[in-house]
Amino acid sequence: MEQLVAVLGRGVVAADTPLLIADDLGFTRGDGCFDAARLVVGAEGKRVDHLERHLARFARSSALLELPAPDLDAWRALIAEALAAWEVPGEAVLKLLRTRGPERSGAGLTELLTITAASDASAARRGVRAITLNRGYASDAFVDAPWLLGGVKTLSYAVNVAAKREASRRGVDEVIFVSSDGFLLEGPTTGLLVAADDQLWATPTEGTGILPSVTIDAILDEAAAGGVGVSRALFRAEDLPTSQGLWVVSAVRGVLPVLELDGVALPHDPAVTARLAAAAGF
């Protein structure tokens, strides 16, 4: 089994079961949200990293899209049923999806989850090369524009996927979006973490439209509990060569040190990466 599918109200179904009506707004307009977490199956059993934080973000995305609040108890039960049926050892991606449903009124939401075996991220966890790409808006563009859906994990991912294709064309591993006024924002599927002045820094979410990162928040909480200074600030690419390191952080792939950005080598301490990864559960 390489993928498992489960539907809210129905439970686990065959992975090739047709589930979308042709005019489903998630399919035709990207009108919906999702969240994704790492599932690990090993000798100690099965676990989903930071599940409650992911569920909270899923609910927040739903609220900002003005969807009905998700029944989180029902989602927890569906996740438990799916986990019981998933026996593939190693890492996998648990993805929760909600759409506004078919365009015809009264048809109800589409709500389902998938579990898919994860790609091997071991090489990326040792270090990646990245480029910056202009995201096309200023770092404060979302301050007074809630209709831009800043901080919502929507299904509208065409730009994110196009950016990853551009990275592949340029022969690098990752992209970091930059605002039109020159500040580093986030990656297409990652958040940013910077070490500087013996502190850890994340990108501010207020006004920038950045998706709050579950994994970065977990790292910052662990660091603060251990007495490390944590804060949020905007950085430019030219600030990084004199920093203590830059990481792109994914809930599924982990804490990936950026060894080179736009052809410029960046500092990297593998011991620090190991501590950050452990704080995130990797």
CA–centroid distance for 40 within its chain: 17
Residue 105 has pLDDT above 80, yes or no: no
Percent of the chain whose pLDDT exceeds 70? 99
Q: What is the tens place of the pLDDT at every residue in 107-143? A: 899 999 999 999 999 999 999 999 999 999 999 999 9
What is the spatial distance between Cα 153 and Cα 210, in angstroms, rounded to a whole number? 10
Give me the pLDDT at residue 177, please. 98
Q: What is the pLDDT of residues 225-278, one digit of tens each?
A: 999 999 999 999 999 999 999 999 999 999 999 999 999 999 999 999 999 999
DSSP 68: P
pLDDT greater than 70 at residue 171: yes
pLDDT in tens, 28-77: 999 999 999 999 999 999 999 999 999 999 999 999 999 999 999 999 99
Q: What is the DSSP letter of 150?
A: T
Mean pLDDT over 10-16 rounds to: 96
Fold held by 3-118: D-amino Acid Aminotransferase; Chain A, domain 1 (3.30.470)
The residue-averaged pLDDT of 178-191 equals 97
Q: What are residue 233's phi and psi, to 5 degrees?
A: -165, 160
Q: How far apart are CA 93 and CA 253, in angstroms?
A: 10
Q: Are 243 and 195 within 8 A, CB to CB?
A: yes
pLDDT at 149 over 80: yes
> Tell me, what's the pLDDT at 216?
98
CATH 3.30.470.10 domain range(s) in the chain: 3-118
H helix and E strand count, the chain: 7, 14
Structure tokens at 132: 């910056």
Where exactly does CATH 3.20.10.10 map onto the chain? 123-280
pLDDT at position 1, please? 64
Q: Is there a contact between 191 and 248 (Cβ–Cβ < 8 Å)?
A: yes
Contacts for 78 with CB less than 8 Å, ≥ 6 apart: 6, 7, 8, 11, 113
CATH top-level class for 123-280?
Answer: alpha beta
Q: Residue 212: pLDDT above 70?
A: yes
